């Protein structure tokens, strides 16, 4: 499958502002060297996240006009329910305002204090909800996932030995569910193979443990399976997605990614009893069961996006565009997470800024420097995102210290990515000048969102 031009044409455009270097130096200073705190209008090419940043289609916008905003029984809920049942194969659907709404419900329902929740690498909000309910997250991803240079096709796989060791050590009754992300965001958008999902499911069932998937980027995962795993080349993306979810008891979903909407999420379940408990929590924290956290029009856009995301041309182009940027950087010798994943290109800040200690926040500093250089906004995914150990108070020190350049869906053209590549290459040439950062304000939870920093020394990069 080669990379072809966009399988869509542009009907509406949104102008973006060009800024001067002086303006950007001022803006990053005011933002405390945290790209989350920049004003979007000061950003030229926004690669902060692929979450909620997709361009919706004309068909989705048309659906927005068909929003049925009834408090109960909105027709858009039934369209959404049908789409999720059809595409993912779960009978019970709980609409939430976004992914963490679903994480809140499932973690509160299933986790008891003292439990362990194994997962293929942590995700920030997912782990925060598990810990909030008294669970301890245990990383069971294969070791290779923690090494940015190792090039293997399914770097998001679960290490079955690690999983089995945990079950033997703490006992199955202390494991409310196994949490499997397809693909793995913080490992670089790396996929999990179908064989591995099947094996995890078999092992879990042997011990009577539930398996809950984080479905956020499962269509991208399905594309990699089609491309890389024997026996799947001739299957449709829809068939592969259905098989993926046949190995789960439920999933949490941030629909702001795969499903091409700006807001939305859901919890989908196979067990009626858990569904009933989930709807009880839903009415407390989100809303009535037929809208949860969403307006009728948003549910309609989500129902339609759920079909658009499994279009073969769409998903091939989507992953191809991420690779288009990644390959330019690889060809220029820039250290990036290999292989290029499904939603983002991750700069290996540890290798890029090898003169800095991890506690000088190299990825945070590199993201700030990239913004000053060209107005491109990326995000830190390293020691700042990893936070502190809730028991010892020490910084978690993840092996991966990355800057994520996340590609919004159907938003930018390849020319934008040429500009991004040029800027990263330019910075690499003067990397020694990029200074470390220190905290000025450190929030207690999810500190990467609102923490602020200052450079540890004067540098021409920020002046
Ligand atoms: C893998 C993964 N899980 C969960 C979430 C949380 O979803 P939301 O931001 O919609 O609350 C995200 C969002 O970035 C994610 O990437």
**Catalytically annotated residue among 46, 50, 68, 214:** 214
Low-confidence ranges of the chain (pLDDT < 50): none
**Catalytically annotated residue among 33, 90, 137, 448:** 448
283 and 393 inside one domain: no
* Cα distance between residue 374 and residue 43, in whole Å: 9
Among candidate residues 285, 308, 331, the one where a domain is terminated: 308
Report CA(331)–ligand 1 centroid distance (Å): 31
**Catalytically annotated residue among 71, 82, 205, 206:** 71
Report CA(328)–ligand 1 centroid distance (Å): 28
* Cα distance between residue 340 and residue 347, in whole Å: 10
256 CA closest ligand 1 atom index: 10
Among candidate residues 276, 308, 340, the one where a domain is terminated: 308
139 and 169 inside one domain: yes
Does 297 reside within a domain? yes
Q: What is the 3-state secondary structure (H, E, C) of the chain?
A: CCCCCCCCCCCCCCCCCCCCHHHHHHHHHHCCCCHHHCCHHHCCEECCCCCCCCCCCHHHHHHHCCCCCCCCCCHHHHHHHHHHHHHHCCCEEEEECCHHHHHHHHHHHHCCCCCEEEECCCCHHHHHHHHHCCCEEEECECHHHHCCCCCCCCCCCECHHHHHHHHHHHCHHHCCEEEEECCEHHHCCECCCHHHHHHHHHHHHHCCCEEEEECCCHHHHHHHHHHHCCCCCCCCHHHHHHHHHHCCCEEEEECCCCCCCCCCEEEEECCHHHHHHHHHHHHHHCCCCCCCCCCHHHHHHHHHHHHHCCCHHHHHHHHHHHHHHHHHHHHCCCCECCCCCCCEEEEEHHHHCCCCCHHHCHHHHHHHHHHHHHCEECEEECHHHHCECCCCCCECCCCCCEEEEECCCCCCCHHHHHHHHHHHHHHHHCHHHCCCEEEEECCCCCHHHHCEEEECCCCHHHC
Residue bearing tokens 């499903």: 259
* Cα distance between residue 235 and residue 30, in whole Å: 51
335 and 232 inside one domain: no
76 and 46 inside one domain: no
CATH no. for residue 93? Answer: 3.40.640.10
Does 1 reside within a domain? no
* Cα distance between residue 462 and residue 12, in whole Å: 36
98 CA closest ligand 1 atom index: 10
93 and 232 inside one domain: yes
Report CA(125)–ligand 1 centroid distance (Å): 7
Does 8 reside within a domain? no
Does 6 reside within a domain? no
How many domains does the structure of the chain reveal? 2
**Catalytically annotated residue among 53, 96, 124, 125:** 124
Among 127, 257, 341, the mutation site with the greatest number of ligand 1 atoms within 8 A of its Cβ is 257
The reply to whether 71 belongs to the active site is yes
107 and 230 inside one domain: yes
> Which residue's C-alpha comes closest to atom 16 of ligand 1?
185
* Cα distance between residue 283 and residue 293, in whole Å: 9
* Cα distance between residue 104 and residue 81, in whole Å: 20
pLDDT at 2: 63
Among 49, 121, 185, 406, the mutation site with the greatest number of ligand 1 atoms within 8 A of its Cβ is 185
Contact between 178 and 209 (Cβ < 8 Å): yes
The reply to whether 279 belongs to the active site is no
38 and 121 inside one domain: no
Does 349 reside within a domain? yes
- Closest CA relative to residue 45, chosen from 88, 80, 16: 16
> Which residue's C-alpha comes closest to atom 8 of ligand 1?
99
Half-sphere exposure (CA, 13 Å, Cβ side) for 365? Answer: 31
* Cα distance between residue 360 and residue 415, in whole Å: 33
pTM of model > 0.85: yes
> Which residue's C-alpha comes closest to atom 14 of ligand 1?
51
- Contact residues of ligand 1, CB 6 A cut-off: 51, 98-100, 123, 125-126, 181, 185, 214, 216, 254, 256, 265
Report CA(124)–ligand 1 centroid distance (Å): 8
Buried b (16+ CB within 10 A) or exposed e, 119-142: bbbbbbbbbbbbbebebbbbebbb
Report CA(189)–ligand 1 centroid distance (Å): 12
**Catalytically annotated residue among 155, 257, 409, 447:** 257
Report CA(256)–ligand 1 centroid distance (Å): 8
> Which residue's C-alpha comes closest to atom 2 of ligand 1?
216
The reply to whether 123 belongs to the active site is yes
Q: Which residues are CB-contacts of 255 (< 8 A; sequence separation ≥ 6)?
A: 98, 99, 261, 264, 265, 266, 302, 305, 306
Name the pairing type of β-strands 136-139 and 116-119.
parallel
The reply to whether 174 belongs to the active site is no
51 CA closest ligand 1 atom index: 14
Q: Which residues are CB-contacts of 141 (< 8 A; sequence separation ≥ 6)?
A: 119, 120, 121, 156, 157, 158, 159, 184, 187
φ, ψ at 454 (rounded to 5°): -145, 155
> Which residue's C-alpha comes closest to atom 7 of ligand 1?
99
365 and 300 inside one domain: no
304 and 320 inside one domain: no
Does 318 reside within a domain? yes
Report the C-alpha dihedral over residues 381, 219, 314, 375, rounded to 10 degrees.
-10
The reply to whether 448 belongs to the active site is yes
Does 341 reside within a domain? yes
* Cα distance between residue 243 and residue 14, in whole Å: 38
Report CA(344)–ligand 1 centroid distance (Å): 14
298 and 385 inside one domain: no
The reply to whether 223 belongs to the active site is no
Report CA(273)–ligand 1 centroid distance (Å): 25
CATH no. for residue 357? Answer: 3.90.1150.10
> Which residue's C-alpha comes closest to atom 6 of ligand 1?
99
**Catalytically annotated residue among 226, 318, 381, 409:** 381
Domain that holds residue 272: 58-308
The reply to whether 234 belongs to the active site is no
Half-sphere exposure (CA, 13 Å, Cβ side) for 54? Answer: 27
């Amino acid at each position: 499958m080669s990379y072809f031009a966009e399988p869509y044409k542009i009907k509406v455009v949104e102008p973006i502002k060009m800024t001067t270097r002086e303006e950007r130096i001022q803006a990053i200073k005011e933002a405390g060297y945290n790209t989350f705190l920049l004003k979007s209008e000061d950003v030229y090419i926004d690669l902060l996240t692929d979450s909620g940043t997709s361009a919706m289609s004309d068909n989705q916008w048309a659906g927005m006009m068909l929003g049925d905003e009834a408090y109960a029984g909105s027709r858009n809920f039934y369209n959404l329910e049908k789409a999720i049942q059809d595409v993912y194969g779960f009978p019970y659907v709980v609409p939430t305002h976004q992914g963490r709404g679903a994480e809140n419900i499932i973690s509160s329902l299933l986790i008891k204090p003292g439990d362990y929740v194994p997962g293929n690498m942590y995700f920030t909000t997912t782990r925060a909800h598990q810990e909030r309910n008294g669970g301890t997250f245990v990383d069971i991803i294969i070791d290779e996932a923690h090494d940015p240079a190792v090039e293997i096709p399914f770097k998001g796989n679960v290490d079955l030995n690690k999983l089995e060791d945990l079950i033997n050590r703490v006992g199955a009754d202390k494991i409310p569910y196994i949490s499997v992300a397809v693909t793995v965001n913080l490992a670089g958008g790396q996929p999990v193979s179908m064989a591995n999902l099947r094996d995890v499911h078999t092992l879990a069932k042997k011990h009577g443990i539930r398996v809950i998937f984080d479905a956020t980027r499962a269509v991208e995962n399905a594309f990699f399976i089609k491309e890389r795993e024997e026996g799947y080349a001739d299957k449709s993306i829809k068939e592969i997605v259905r098989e993926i979810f046949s190995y789960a008891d439920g999933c949490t979903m941030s629909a702001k990614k795969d499903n091409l909407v700006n807001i939305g999420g859901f919890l989908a379940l196979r067990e009626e009893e858990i569904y009933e408990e989930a709807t009880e929590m839903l009415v407390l924290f989100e809303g009535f069961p037929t809208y949860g956290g969403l307006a009728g029009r948003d549910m309609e856009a989500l129902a339609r996006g759920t079909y658009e995301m499994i279009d073969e041309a769409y998903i091939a182009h989507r992953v191809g565009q991420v690779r288009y940027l990644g390959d330019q950087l690889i060809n220029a010798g820039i250290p990036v997470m290999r292989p290029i994943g499904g939603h983002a290109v991750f700069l290996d800040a540890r290798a890029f800024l090898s003169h800095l200690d991890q506690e000088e926040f190299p990825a945070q500093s590199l993201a700030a420097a990239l913004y000053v250089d060209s107005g491109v906004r990326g995000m830190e995914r390293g020691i700042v995102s990893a936070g502190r150990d809730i028991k010892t108070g020490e910084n978690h020190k993840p092996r991966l210290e990355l800057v994520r350049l996340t590609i919004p869906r159907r938003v930018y053209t390849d020319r934008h990515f040429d500009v991004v590549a040029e800027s990263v290459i330019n910075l690499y040439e003067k990397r020694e000048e990029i200074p470390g950062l220190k905290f000025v304000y450190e929030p207690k939870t999810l500190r990467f969102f609102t923490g602020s920093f200052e450079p540890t020394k004067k540098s021409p990069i920020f002046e």
